[in-house]
Structure 1
Amino acid sequence: MADALVSPEWLAAHLDAPNLALIDLRVPADGGRTAYETAHIPGAVFSDYAADGWRHKVGNVPGLLPEPAHLAALFGRLGIAPEKHVILIPAGTGANDLAASARAYWTLKIMGHATVSILDGGTRGWVNAGRTIEWGAGNVPKAPPYPVSPQPGYRQDSAAVLVAASGKTHALVDARSASYFSGKEKASEAKRAGHIPGAISADYAHLVNPTTGALKPRADLDALLASVPKGPVISYCNTGHTAALNWFVLSEIFGRPDVTLYDGSMTDWTQDETRPVSTE
């Protein structure tokens, strides 16, 4: 089984492997296609996290899992086939960028793709290691629509979160900064500020080295998430974006079972005024 996180050294040693599908995933804030065409890892295919629809907006909730048919077409257009080992390549600019790759990783997994990894440090780490780069539009080795097979055990909706919060059956882990958790700030789409009662604050940004854009060492990650108790976990944030990084570390790096993502998160939770919100 492939590691969930691979190093530039690992990728350099396997770059010519025919089973790899390299996906250069960029958020608009990091320059999008222009930045990709300026420098990317050889063979990497560009994907725009926003424009390609890795997340889907329904009403006032912007971060939901897209329909399987959309993802089947997207995966195929990017050259992803079931036998491929997908390497998601963030830009390497920081926590927000890495969270996009974590969300794409979760999306591939929930749609039934077996072998996925994220390049630690992304393109910046690759360049800083003195590795070869390409520039220009790149090639897109299209594949047929992907035979998606939605899998259980990855996702929670508001009804399940309400049961979990009321019954205290899961640890609720809030990936947002302290100002959002305490209700001093809120996402524009959220109708109320605060957090789900009983949640643990675990700011996702603390998991990433801001200088390199890579995850911090395992010992640091253990310490940063030490407040998360054993047992089932639901990770959430505002839109299911930053929470994907906490999910990735807890589930894929720590190997903890029963870690799920509430993709609707606070923008979905607060649409119904009967759902409780706390600022304490």
Structure 2
Amino acid sequence: MRLNLAGAVAIAGLLLTGAAHAERLTDKPLVDAAWLAENLGNESLVVLDIRDLVNGTDPYAAGHVPGAIAARYSEAGWRAPVNNIPGMLPPVEQIEASIAALGVNDDSQVVIVPAGTNAAEFGGATRVYWTFKVLGHDAVTILDGGWAGWTKANGEVSTEASAAEAGDFKAEFRPELLAGVEEVTEAIESDANLIDARAVAQFIGQEKSGVVQALGHIPTAVNINFDKFYDAQNASFASADTIAQLADAAGVGGKSDFIAFCNTGHLASIAWFGLSEVEGLDNVRLYDGSMADWTADPARPVVTN
């Protein structure tokens, strides 16, 4: 069979693309401690420990998964202020460089390890996971239960710091995973489903974060409290069945086309991860700026019912 030049180039591109992602070790959004222990030492594996300091103490130094790279959630460049809105996705070139500096290559299988102590803290892992996804890197997963799950399973502990050798990570931005003011405005007027992942008191306007300028929520939104997605006692994320039940209870069961938001896009990533990655729903986006961005303009509507 003959191929013209364009066809040959296209096939070569496909082959190269396949080679770049040949080392993907799992397509699951969550892995357990047994899986991680079995795959430690694989050349394509990059374990990122995103635990932050606790009362000035470095948990990574006290003990971590062998070979893990320290990539603190609050310090490794995962989020940045953009146009005076806190906690946003940094400019693509900037976050691309930060990820490469952690030793991530285009063909790396990334495993994210949070502390796993509670839902809000585990949101760091879901936010970092979304960051990889929105930058086009599918070979990413989270250690279910995080460090708490690892120690509960008697995983090996190391106190030897691992230095990262700069990788060749390159971003391929996926705008379809990200929502902004325009997409949220359209969602209010359409059949898209807005999911407010904040606590009920903030949703109904009894309380608000200091970075949000008005009490209440975006019109037409329904509330699914972020902490319903995580079982801290058992150090595990909610199952697909549980998440479906949460959606049913909120009146959006069996639907697709979601936009998750919170105050700054942290807690919303938990809902995004649960709906998109665990339950496997289509067209789930994260409103990165969330209520901090939405209420920055007082002309945008906010309701309390």
State if a TM-score over 0.5 links the two structures. Answer: yes
1:143 maps to amino acid? A
Deviations 1:140-178 (A, max 9, x none): 22224522121131001012111211x133100000000
Within 2, Cα distance between the matches of 1:148 and 1:111?
Answer: 5
Distance 1:33 1:47, change over 3 A: farther
The counterpart of 1:130, out of the listed 137, 154, 174, is 154
Q: 1:243 aligns with which of 252, 268, 271?
A: 268
Read off the aligned partner of 1:97 and give its amino acid letter: E
Structure 1 residues 73 and 232, CA gap change in structure 2 (3 angstroms): same
Contact 1:174 1:200 in 2 (8 A): yes
CA distance in 1, matches of 2:109, 2:37: 15
- Asked if the contact 1:92–1:213 (Cα under 8 Å) also holds between the matched residues in 2, the reply is yes
The higher relative CO (CA closer than 8 Å, separation ≥ 6) is in: 1
- In structure 2, the partner of 1:204 is 226
In the superposition, the TM-score normalised over structure 2's length comes to: 0.87
Q: How many residues are matched? A: 277
Report deviation, 1:59: 4.5
1:97-246 counterparts in 2 under 5 A? 97-136=121-160, 138-144=161-167, 146-165=169-188, 167-226=189-248, 227=250, 228-229=252-253, 230-246=255-271
**CA-atom RMSD, angstroms?**
1.6
**In the aligned structure 2, how far is the partner of 1:8 from the partner of 1:32?**
27
1:40 aligns with 2:61: no
1:26 CA displacement: 1.6
Taking the aligned partners of 1:249 and 1:105, their CA distance within structure 2 comes to: 12
1:236-268 deviation digits (Å, cap 9, x = unpaired):
000000000100011111111100000100000
Distance in 2 (alpha carbons) for counterparts of 1:215 and 1:231: 21
SS for the counterpart of 1:26 is coil
Query: 1:32, CA displacement in angstroms?
Result: 7.4
Aligned equivalents of 2:55, 2:275: Cα separation in 1: 29
Relative to 1, partners in 2 of residues 1:259 and 1:248: Cα closer, same or farther, differing over 3 Å?
same
Distance 1:180-1:36 versus aligned 2 partners, 3 A rule: same
Residue 206 of structure 1 aligns to a residue in which SS?
Answer: helix
Q: Distance in 1 between matches of 2:55 and 2:170?
A: 31
1:126/1:144 CA distance change after superposition, 3 Å:
closer
Are the equivalent residues in 1 in contact too, given 2:52–2:58 (CA < 8 A)? no
Q: Distance in 2 between matches of 1:187 and 1:171?
A: 23
State which structure, 1 or 2, has the greater radius of gyration over its C-alpha atoms.
2
For the 8 Å contact 1:124–1:212, the answer to whether it is kept is no
Question: Identity over the aligned pairs, expressed in percent?
Answer: 35
Which TM-score applies when normalising by structure 1? 0.94
1:212 Cα deviation from its structure 2 partner: 3.3
- Give yes or no for contact 1:72–1:145 (8 Å, CA) kept in 2: no
- Cα displacement (A) at 1:231: 2.5
The superposition leaves residues 92-145 of structure 1 with CA deviations (integer Å, 9 ceiling, x where unpaired) of 111112111101011111111120000001111111111110014x11222245
Alpha-carbon distance between aligned partners in 1 of 2:167 and 2:34, rounded to the nearest angstrom: 31
- Contact 1:173–1:201 (CA<8 Å) still a contact in 2? yes
Consecutive unaligned residues in structure 2, runs of 5 or more? 1-25
Check whether the contact 1:32–1:48 (CA below 8 A) recurs between aligned residues: no
Which residue does 2:112 correspond to in 1? 88
Q: Is the 8 A contact 2:117 2:148 kept in 1?
A: yes
